[in-house]
Amino acid sequence: MKARIHVMLKTGVLDPQGEAVRHALGAMGFDGVFSVRQGKVIDLDLADGTSEDQVRDMCEKLLANTVIERYDIEMG
């Protein structure tokens, strides 16, 4: 069983890495990029029967800093 977690900074939290990428793209001539938000993707290979609630618990306790980040879980 697989799970994919997308972790992004919450709206309103400054994203210095995203801003650095946006600036670099502008310097390369890609002038149409107005905003960049950078995040991470975590792929988990899980034992059969692992519930989405268990994965959510993993996110809450370790995989995401829920003070400044939000996450989405895809189970499959």
pLDDT of residue 42: 98
- The whole domain housing 29 covers 2-75
Instruction: Return the CATH number at 71.
Output: 3.30.1280.10
Query: Mind listing the pLDDT tens digit for each residue in 34-74?
Result: 999 999 999 999 999 999 999 999 999 999 999 999 999 99
Residue 24 backbone dihedrals phi, psi, to 5 degrees: -65, -40
Domain count, the chain: 1
Confidence of residue 21 (pLDDT cuts 50, 70, 90): very high
Q: How far is 70 from 33, CA to CA, in rounded Å? A: 23
pLDDT of residue 25: 98
pTM of the model: 0.88
